[in-house]
């Protein structure tokens, strides 16, 4: 096995993201890749994932609709609270903590289950407009891989967006 493949992270598939989210929320979730030319809405929250050497290797950004719906569904927050939160444009502490937990679990999808494989962990949940310089560098890296998806719940008009970006190899070379 080459050194490069030994240091490789896995890119989660859309099916894996759907399955994990469906299981967490106990609701059927559908993910659709954005079509060419379709614009991803501005992110609201971003999960930053570091490897065992504390190097940023992945970012998952979600928009406000995703954060609101998923954050509310995980704790079964009442509709009235969800409507108030939507109107305010600011998630409650519980909703933010729930999004953190969802993104923490998503982080496991980057990790291959073999001895010596690199591992990443969620180290921070930040506002998407507060990305540190290292995150902006990762997003602009020529070898970054990614998925942009629209997430919907079967039978419900609520939609959210999710963007996954990762460097499969250690950026230091």
89/165 Cα distance (integer angstroms): 25
- Of 143, 147, 133, 132, whose CA–CA distance to 167 is shortest? 143
What pLDDT was estimated at residue 6?
Answer: 53
Q: How confident is the chain (173 residues) per 10-residue block, as mean pLDDT? A: 58 93 90 84 94 94 94 91 94 96 94 80 96 94 92 75 90 72
What pLDDT was estimated at residue 82?
Answer: 92
91/71 Cα distance (integer angstroms): 8
Q: Which residues contact 133 (CB under 8 A, 6 or more apart)?
A: none
Instruction: Please state the pTM of the whole predicted model.
Output: 0.90
What pLDDT was estimated at residue 3?
Answer: 44
């Amino acid at each position: 096995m080459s050194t490069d493949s030994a240091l490789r992270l896995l890119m989660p598939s859309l099916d894996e993201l759907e399955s994990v989210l469906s299981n967490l929320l106990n609701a059927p979730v559908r993910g659709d890749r954005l079509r060419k030319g379709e614009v991803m809405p501005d992110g609201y929250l971003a999960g930053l994932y570091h490897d065992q050497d504390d190097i940023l290797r992945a970012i998952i950004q979600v928009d406000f609709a995703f954060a609101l719906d998923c954050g509310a569904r995980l704790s079964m927050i009442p509709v009235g609270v969800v409507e108030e939160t939507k109107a305010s444009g600011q998630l409650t502490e519980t909703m933010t903590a729930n999004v953190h937990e969802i993104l923490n679990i998503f982080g496991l999808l980057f990790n291959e289950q073999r001895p010596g494989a690199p591992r990443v962990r969620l180290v921070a949940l930040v506002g998407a407009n507060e990305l540190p310089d290292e995150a902006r560098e990762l997003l602009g890296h020529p070898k970054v891989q990614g998925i942009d998806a629209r997430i919907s719940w079967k039978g419900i008009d609520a939609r959210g967006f999710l963007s996954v970006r990762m460097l499969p190899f250690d950026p230091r070379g």
